[in-house]
Amino acid sequence: GAVVSQHPSWVICKSGTSVKIECRSLDFQATTMFWYRQFPKQSLMLMATSNEGSKATYEQGVEKDKFLINHASLTLSTLTVTSAHPEDSSFYICSAYFFGLAGSASTDTQYFGPGTRLTVL
């Protein structure tokens, strides 16, 4: 299966600071990357969708100025939580989506990173 890495795995920061989370597809080129937020004992909530070289598409209710997404290449997307506050504390998960010719990954499938636990004090 395809491997997606996410860094850092956990981070603690002070209120008002910014935090950057990286998501990389290690063995395939992702046409699209997704960012999710997951609250305890709940399903994944899609925050935004990003394509390489394009502006991210944010879901309704997600502040684009607070959650900045940069998709620099077909293997790297970053999520920056700006001016973080305690209510931003959560588990953030990225996924990479492969569409097209099959390689090591199954096409038309999202592969997930291991997640980042963010705690804002």
Partner 1 sequence: AQTVTQSQPEMSVQEAETVTLSCTYDTSESNYYLFWYKQPPSRQMILVIRQEAYKQQNATENRFSVNFQKAAKSFSLKISDSQLGDTAMYFCAFMNYGGSQGNLIFGKGTKLSVKP
Task: Based on the shown chain and the rule CB under 8 A, indicate whether residue 108 belongs to the binding site for partner 1.
Answer: yes
User: To 10 degrees, the CA torsion angle through 25, 29, 34, 40?
Assistant: -30
60 binds partner 1 (CB under 8 A): no
The answer, yes or no, to whether the previous bond of 8 is cis (omega within 30 of 0) is: yes
**N-term to C-term CA, the chain:** 37
The reply to whether 80 sits near partner 1 by the rule CB under 8 A is no
Smallest distance, partner 1 to C-beta of residue 77, A: 14
> Least distance to partner 1 from the beta carbon of 18, Å?
23
Contact letters for partner 1, residues 10-49 (x by CB under 8 A): ---------------------xx-x---x---xxx-x--x
Amino acid, single-letter form, for residue 83: S
Instruction: Tell me 101's DSSP state.
Output: S
> Between 93 and 120, whose beta carbon lies closer to partner 1?
93
| Total residues binding partner 1 (CB under 8 A) | 23
List the one residue out of 98, 91, 95 whose CA is nearest residue 29.
98
